[in-house]
Amino acid sequence: MLGRTLLRHWRDAHICFIADLPETDLTDAHATENAIEQAQPDVVVHCAAMTHVDGCESDRARAFLLNETATANVARATAAHGARLIAISTDYVFAGDQPGDRKETDATHPKTVYGASKLAGEEAVRALCPNHIIARTAWLYGTGGPSFVHTMMTLAAANPLRTLQIVDDQHGNPTSADAVADALTAILARPDLTGTFHLTCEGVATWYEFAQTIFRLAGYNDLTLIPCSSKEFQRPAQRPKWSALSKAKLKSVGLPKMPPWQEALMRFIRHEWK
C-alpha cells in the first residue's frame, strides 16, 4: 500500500524501479544484490515486510526471515552500491504499555514477534548501511487498502443492523500513506539526513474515535457505534495500548510537520470514495 503510494508520488519526478516477487526474492542475498546492481539506484526504499501481526505470532521463523534477513540483504546490497536506504518500520518496536508519545530516541521493547522481527530489521539497517533513514509509521491507510478505513467502509455498507462494536482502549495516530509519502519526499531532498524518523499524522485517537470520524466524513449517520475493550476481541498477538509516536526529529531538522489526522483522513475519503 505504501509502496503504491510512493510510486504514484514519485514516478513523474524520478525514474522508479520495482523489485518484487516472483522476479526478486529479498530473502536471497544474491538475488537482492543482482536487483540493485541492475537498477543502479541512488535511493532504495525498502517497503517489503511480513505485516500480518497475528501471522507473525504463529510463524516466528518466517517473520524473522522476511523482516530481519531480507532487510539485512537489502541493507548490505544498498551499502555496497553506495546508495541511500529508506527502510519502513513500525510503532510495534515499542512496548506500547505506557501513555504518551514515544520519541525516536526512546528505548524499544517489543511485545510481539512482529515488533521483535521489525526491530531486528532496524538493527540490521543501522549495522550494515550507514546512509539510511528508518521511517516508523503506524495505523496506516492508503489507496486500495487493505486498511482499517477500508474495513470500516465495507462494514458500514454491508451491515443491515447498523450497529458496530469498536475497540476504545487502544490509542494511536491514524496516518495517511499520502502524508508519509510527502514527508519522505522532503527527506529525500535532504541528503544530509540519516537516522530514525517517526512519520505519523499529528493527533491521537482510539480505534473507536477513528471509526466515528470515518463514518461522519463518509456520511454514514445512521450507524450506532458501541465502544468496547480489547479483551472483547482477543487475538494471538498483543496489541499496544499506546501507539502514538512523537515527531520530535522532524521538528529538530526543520522539516514540515505532519498533518492532523482528521485533515488527512478527510482528504483521503473525498478522494477514495468520491
Between CA 63 and CA 72, with CA 69 as vertex, the angle to 5 degrees is 135
Cell of 108: 524499544
Active site residue 141: no
Distance separating the N- and C-terminal Cα atoms of the chain: 20
How far apart are the C-alpha atoms of 95 and 257, rounded to whole Å?
25
How far apart are the C-alpha atoms of 30 and 35, rounded to whole Å?
9
Contact by Cβ (8 Å): 205, 53: no
Q: CA 3 from chain center: how many Å?
A: 10
Q: Which of 114, 141, 208, 220 is catalytic?
A: 114
Taking the C-alpha atoms of 217, 222, 224 and 225 in order, what is their torsion angle to the nearest 10 degrees?
A: -10
Contact by Cβ (8 Å): 37, 44: no
**Packing angle between helix 2-10 and helix 177-188, nearest 10 degrees?**
50
Residue 189: name the closest of 71, 8, 43 by CA.
Answer: 43
How far apart are the C-alpha atoms of 101 and 214, rounded to whole Å?
23
Residues annotated as catalytic are 114
